[in-house]
Amino acid sequence: MNIAIYVCLGCMLVFGVFSAASRKLIISAVALAVVSAALGVLMYVLGAHTAAIFEVSVCSGLVTVIFISAVSLSNGDKQIEAQDVAVPARKRRFLPAILIGAGAILMIVAWLTGFSVGTPAAAVSGANFNDVFWETCQADIFGQMVALIAGASAIVVFFKESENE
Amino acid sequence: MTVLQWIPHLFLALPMLALIVNNVIPRARIRTTTIAMSATVAGAQMLLALAGVFLLVESGESAVRFGMIWDAGKNVGYFQTDLVSMFLLMCVGMVALASALTALTTIDDHRGSYTNLLMVMMLGLNGMLLVRDLFSLYVFLEVTGLASFVMIGMYKSTRDLEGAFKYLALSALATIFILTGLSFLFIKAGSLAFDALTPALFSGAGDGSTLLCWAALVLLISGYSIKSGVAPFHSWLPDAYESADTAVSIMLSGIVTKIAGVYSLLTLTRLFDGIAPLKTVLALLGMFTILVGALLALAQKNFKRIAAYSSVSQMGYILLGFAAGTNLGILAGLLYLFSHSAAKSAFFTNAAALEKQLGTLNIDEMGGLQKRMPITSGSSVVALLSTAGVPPFAGFWSKLMVLLALWSAGLKGYAAFALIASILTGAYFLRLQKKVFFGKPNPRWDAVVEITGGIRVSEILLTIVTVAVGLVFPLLLLYLQRAGLI
């Protein structure tokens, strides 16, 4: 089980860095989906089954579809690639090294301090769906609903033509 | 259910109702009244919260717990309001009212979107003040941040988008810090509910998970400091305030940084009361912020940038109040937050008036406007005197209380520093007043007349609040003392 945890963490680190460092938006979106999938597996291994299903279906599935659709519709991938030519490759080379280095340091610190992940998982695994997603999280669900409204307002403000135009 | 149990529900229901009305009724029909509706909601919140403060003191209860509106009367409590949050809800209402009144004049395009975003921002701020666990606090913090980001970049000019991008980039960094800190705390405590987070988490020397708690504290302080714009995490703030519409700057400066950053830091100090390094860090951050903000304000030429750096500087006094770690210190910090919110909102309202009438905010181009714009000038002078801590305005009492709290907590060096630093506040504001309203009149502005409409109403209201609170402050203190709160 420990091996699965470290494999998932490693995948998340590598694909997360790849997602940030990639020149193409679509590849970044796919790498991000892999990070979410690895996180989903990690959650499942740790006993948070309901959260794992949501992570895989929403973050890895739905969000990736939205990302790729948005990139395809806006044709932004070509624009980003065109801008990217101007960025010196020398500068980009350091980013993955820094991020992977930071991740490695975190893992060493976790190992040295006897990092344990058992307790929270036990607290979540015993609860049923209703408890996890409604009875204990109504405030968060309300907050996320408002966040969705804020997101919709952002789209209206940034992408709709102005009333006077 | 009593009135006191009903009032907190309205802090979530009213902005949500306004959001629905604003989007259900066709935009063309509601265009002229949409901002007036948001002003009504903000004003109602201010009055309801004021009533709530007095009802809570009279009831003798420390807090009221409540669920969503469909759970009214049931014994559930996802939310909670106490005296601190009720008082801050009143501040949110006051600043949102000033912003909406200013927006009546400054915002022509995007009126519907402004109302939507203001209501979302109010929901985010109110949510932060009402939740009972650190993760929910983070969720509503993100709601507030998202609304702020969109409002800053609303007009899509290069300057707007640059300000919005800086805010977004640093907010993302703050988010990483906060989420990592929360996860570390969760590992140790198994819950992020306020009830589960106690100073006992930090006991147990040599234990790896205790080390995680200290790391969490460092990360959370850094994240919340970025959100509050205290030095050295302030770089996003002046650009965001300058580029945003003034109605938006009023919200950002007047309340968003206070609740998103300072209230979160206050929550940490209340949860982990007794952790000495936390108070030391807050005190040092406070001192550094006062100094950096004031020195940078002295070097600016743009009215809004001076107000922005002043906002950074004044945040330091609030942190110093909280750093005292006593009831008096927390009360002093909150009262400073209130007086600063009123004064800074007044300054940004003055900026809106000047920008509207003159078309510029460069103070070198102004001069002698006191005769042309007496109401704006008077409002600005009152805000200056209050911020500098001159009696009998609200700022005098709150600054005095911060000094007393520091002195009585044995932090005499910090108190002396705060007192001396007040001279810097006076210096940059006197320079501003001299260049803008006094001194030699610039013939270019001979035809300029005083501002009218919502901006004028906002200026007058905020000035009345600053003067009136200053005058009744001793009575307010007696009332709180009788209620056993200080």
CB B83 within 8 A of CB B331: no
Per-residue confidence (pLDDT) for residue A120, from 0 to 100: 47
Per-residue confidence (pLDDT) for residue A165, from 0 to 100: 40
Top pLDDT among B445 and B412 is at B412
CB B81 within 8 A of CB B89: yes
Q: Count CB pairs under 8 A between chains A and B.
A: 94
CB contacts, 8 Å: B182 with chain A: none
What confidence tens digit (pLDDT) does each residue in B351-406 have? 999 988 888 888 888 888 888 899 999 999 999 999 988 888 999 999 999 999 99
CB B429 within 8 A of CB B386: no
Q: A82 pLDDT band (50/70/90 cuts)?
A: very low
Average pLDDT, integer, range B296-307 = 90
CB contacts, 8 Å: A120 with chain B: 186-187, 190
- Expressed in percent and rounded to 5, the helix, strand and coil fractions of chain A are 85, 0, 15
CB B217 within 8 A of CB B272: yes
* pLDDT of A161 higher than 70: no
Q: Which of A149, A155, A165 to mutate to test the interface with B (most CBs of B within 10 A)?
A: A149
User: CA B224 to CA A85: how far, in whole Å?
Assistant: 37
Among the residue ranges A39-48, B10-19, B328-337, B398-407, the one predicted with the least confidence is: A39-48
Distance from CA of A158 to the nearest CA of B (A): 7
Angle, CA of A125, B218 and B236, to the nearest 5°: 110
Helices first, then strands: H and E counts in chain B:
19, 2
Q: A87 pLDDT band (50/70/90 cuts)?
A: low
Does the domain made of A2-125 have the CATH classification 1.20.120.1200?
yes
Range list of β-strands (E), B8-163: 63-66, 79-82
Ranked by mean pLDDT, the top range of B166-170, B274-278, B345-349, B451-455 is: B345-349
Per-residue confidence (pLDDT) for residue B313, from 0 to 100: 92
Nearest CA in chain A to B66: A139
Map out the domains of chain B as residue ranges. Answer: 293-486
Tell whether A130 lies on the interface with B, counting CB pairs under 8 A: no
User: CA B455 to CA B294: how far, in whole Å?
Assistant: 27
Decide if B211 and A164 are in contact by the 8 Å CB cutoff: no
Decide if B150 and A150 are in contact by the 8 Å CB cutoff: yes
What confidence tens digit (pLDDT) does each residue in B4-25 have? 888 988 999 999 999 999 888 8
Assembly ipTM? 0.79
Tell whether A161 lies on the interface with B, counting CB pairs under 8 A: no
Distance from CA of A69 to the nearest CA of B (A): 22
Decide if B190 and A113 are in contact by the 8 Å CB cutoff: no
Tokens of B75: 């014994």
Nearest CA in chain B to A114: B208
Q: Which residues of B397-406 are buried (b: 16+ CB within 10 A; e: fewer)?
A: bbbbbbbbbb
Look over chain B and give the mean of its residue pLDDT values, rounded to a whole number. 88
CB B477 within 8 A of CB B486: yes
User: CA B433 to CA B377: how far, in whole Å?
Assistant: 8
Distance from CA of A121 to the nearest CA of B (A): 9
Residue whose tokens read 């624009």: A79
Give the one of A139, A144, A153 whose C-beta lies nearest to B117's C-beta. Answer: A153
* pLDDT of A123 higher than 60: no
Of B19, B147, B123, the closest CA to residue A151 belongs to B147
Top pLDDT among B102 and B31 is at B102
User: CA A134 to CA B23: how far, in whole Å?
Assistant: 27
* pLDDT of B290 higher than 90: yes
Per-residue confidence (pLDDT) for residue B73, from 0 to 100: 64
Per-residue confidence (pLDDT) for residue B88, from 0 to 100: 93
Q: Tell me how far CA of residue B376 lies from CA of A9, B95, B383, B461, in angstroms.
A: 59, 18, 11, 12
Distance from CA of A136 to the nearest CA of B (A): 8
* pLDDT of B139 higher than 70: yes
